[in-house]
Amino acid sequence: ARADTPGETLAEKAQAVMGGEIRVLVSGGASLADAIYDGFQKFGMTLYQGYGMTETAPVLSVNPYLKSKRGSVGPAVEGVELQIQNPNSNGIGEIIAKGPSTMKGYYQNPDATEKTIRDGWLYTGDLGYMDEDGYLYLTGHCKDIIVPASGKNVYPVELEVLYRESPAISEICVVGIPYEGGSDTAIHAVIVPTASDETTKTEIHEHLQACAKALPSYQQFHKFHLWEDALPKAANGSIDRECLRCSLEAHIKEMERLQEDSAAESEAAGVPRADIPEEILSTLARLARMPTHQIRRESRLDTDLGLDSLTRLDLLLVLENRLGETIPDALLANLETVGDVVELIETFHTDAARAGDEYRETKRPEFRQVPRWYARAFRSVITGIYRNYFSLECQGLEHIPQGRPYIIMPNHTSHLDTLTVITALGTKAYRLWTLAARDYWFATRLQGWFARTCLNALPIEREGNFTEFLQDLRAANEVMALNNGLLIFPEGTRSLDGNLQPFKPGVLSLLIYGPNVPIIPAYIEGTYHALPKGQNLPKRHPVRIIFGEPLTFPRESWSSQDGTPIDPDRYQEFLDLAQNRVAELGTMLRQQKDA
pLDDT tens-digit readout, 533-569: 877 889 999 999 999 999 988 765 555 445 555 555 6
Predicted pLDDT at 358? 46
Mean pLDDT of 293-316: 78
CA–CA distance, 105 with 113 (Å, rounded to integer)? 5
218 in Cβ contact with 150 (< 8 Å)? yes
The answer on 380 and 283 residing in a single domain is no
Q: What is the DSSP letter of 23?
A: S
**Where among 113, 142, 171 does a domain terminate?**
142
CA–CA distance, 226 with 191 (Å, rounded to integer)? 5
Mean pLDDT of 285-313: 78
Predicted pLDDT at 398? 95
Predicted pLDDT at 337? 87
Please indicate, yes or no, if residue 3 is contained in any of the structural domains: no
Please indicate, yes or no, if residue 5 is contained in any of the structural domains: no
pLDDT tens-digit readout, 484-497: 999 999 887 888 77
Half-sphere exposure of 84 (CA within 13 A, CB side): 19
Domain limits at 546? 373-594
Please indicate, yes or no, if residue 367 is contained in any of the structural domains: no
Q: Given pLDDT bands bounded at 50, 70 and 90, which one contains residue 387?
A: very high
Q: Where are the alpha helices (DSSP H) in 129-240?
A: 156-163, 198-213
Phi, psi angles (nearest 5°) of residue 410: -100, 170
Above 80 in pLDDT, residue 95?
yes
Predicted pLDDT at 210? 84
Q: Given pLDDT bands bounded at 50, 70 and 90, which one contains residue 263?
A: low
CA–CA distance, 440 with 461 (Å, rounded to integer)? 10
Q: Is 341 helix (H, G, I), strand (E, B) or coil?
A: helix
Label residue 225 exposed, middle or buried (CB < 10 Å: 0-12, 13-18, 19+). middle
Above 50 in pLDDT, residue 361?
no
| Least confident window among 55-59, 120-124, 180-184, 409-413 | 180-184
Q: Given pLDDT bands bounded at 50, 70 and 90, which one contains residue 328?
A: confident
Above 50 in pLDDT, residue 576?
yes
Q: Given pLDDT bands bounded at 50, 70 and 90, which one contains residue 502?
A: confident
Mean pLDDT of 265-283: 68
Predicted pLDDT at 388? 92
In this structure, which long-range contacts are made by residues 571-574, counting pairs with CB atoms below 8 Å and at least 24 apart in sequence? 571/505, 571/508, 572/183, 572/505, 574/508, 574/511
CA–CA distance, 64 with 74 (Å, rounded to integer)? 7
Mean pLDDT of 167-177: 94
CA–CA distance, 560 with 155 (Å, rounded to integer)? 38
Above 60 in pLDDT, residue 364?
no
Which one, of 574, 545, 555, lies nearest residue 512 by Cα? 555
The answer on 254 and 208 residing in a single domain is yes
**Where among 328, 360, 392 does a domain terminate?**
360
CA angle 308, 312, 313 (to 5 degrees): 120
Cα four-point dihedral sign 136, 138, 144, 147:
negative
Phi, psi angles (nearest 5°) of residue 333: -65, -20
Above 70 in pLDDT, residue 267?
no
The answer on 190 and 116 residing in a single domain is no
Mean pLDDT of 493-502: 83
Above 70 in pLDDT, residue 10?
no
| Least confident window among 136-140, 206-210, 522-526 | 206-210
Predicted pLDDT at 268? 58
Please indicate, yes or no, if residue 149 is contained in any of the structural domains: no
Mean pLDDT of 403-425: 94
Q: Given pLDDT bands bounded at 50, 70 and 90, which one contains residue 360?
A: very low
| Least confident window among 56-65, 295-304, 376-385 | 295-304
Q: Residue 499 is part of a domain; what is its CATH number?
A: 3.40.1130.10
The answer on 410 and 448 residing in a single domain is yes
Q: Given pLDDT bands bounded at 50, 70 and 90, which one contains residue 359?
A: very low
Q: Residue 45 is part of a domain; what is its CATH number?
A: 2.30.38.10
The answer on 131 and 48 residing in a single domain is yes
Question: Residue 111 belongs to what H/E stretch?
Answer: helix 110-116
Contacts of 323 (CB under 8 A, 6+ apart): 345, 348
In this prediction the pTM is: 0.59
Above 60 in pLDDT, residue 283?
yes
Residues 123, 128, 133, 134, Cα dihedral to 10°: -10
Distances (CA, A) of 280 to 305, 338, 344, 436, 512: 13, 9, 11, 34, 19
Mean pLDDT of 297-324: 78
Above 50 in pLDDT, residue 395?
yes
Please indicate, yes or no, if residue 384 is contained in any of the structural domains: yes
Q: Specify whether the backbone of 121 is left (phi greater than 0), alpha (psi in -120 to 50) or beta.
A: beta
Please indicate, yes or no, if residue 568 is contained in any of the structural domains: yes
The answer on 168 and 235 residing in a single domain is yes
Distances (CA, A) of 488 to 147, 421, 435, 472, 520: 20, 11, 6, 14, 10
Predicted pLDDT at 506? 66
The answer on 191 and 62 residing in a single domain is no
Please indicate, yes or no, if residue 348 is contained in any of the structural domains: yes
Query: 10 Å Cβ neighbour count for 375?
Result: 18
Above 90 in pLDDT, residue 505?
no
The answer on 256 and 169 residing in a single domain is yes
The answer on 387 and 327 residing in a single domain is no
Please indicate, yes or no, if residue 150 is contained in any of the structural domains: no
Which one, of 452, 425, 440, lies nearest residue 493 by Cα? 440
Which one, of 175, 224, 222, 217, lies nearest residue 201 by Cα? 224
CA–CA distance, 574 with 423 (Å, rounded to integer)? 28
3-state DSSP helix/strand/coil % of the chain, to nearest 5: 40, 20, 40
Q: Residue 215 is part of a domain; what is its CATH number?
A: 3.30.300.30
Mean pLDDT of 178-182: 69
Phi, psi angles (nearest 5°) of residue 407: -130, 130
Q: What is the DSSP letter of 150?
A: T
Q: Where are the alpha helices (DSSP H) in 117-219?
A: 156-163, 198-213
The answer on 161 and 117 residing in a single domain is no
The answer on 160 and 134 residing in a single domain is no
555 in Cβ contact with 511 (< 8 Å)? yes
Euclidean distance between the first and the last CA atom of the chain, given in angstroms as a whole number: 75
| Least confident window among 82-86, 222-226, 409-413 | 222-226
**Where among 245, 266, 287 does a domain terminate?**
266
Q: Tell me the average pLDDT of the chain.
A: 83
CA–CA distance, 245 with 242 (Å, rounded to integer)? 5
Work out how many domains the chain is built from and give that number. Answer: 4
Q: Residue 293 is part of a domain; what is its CATH number?
A: 1.10.1200.10
440 in Cβ contact with 460 (< 8 Å)? no
| Least confident window among 322-331, 345-354, 539-548 | 345-354
Predicted pLDDT at 86? 83
The answer on 207 and 137 residing in a single domain is no
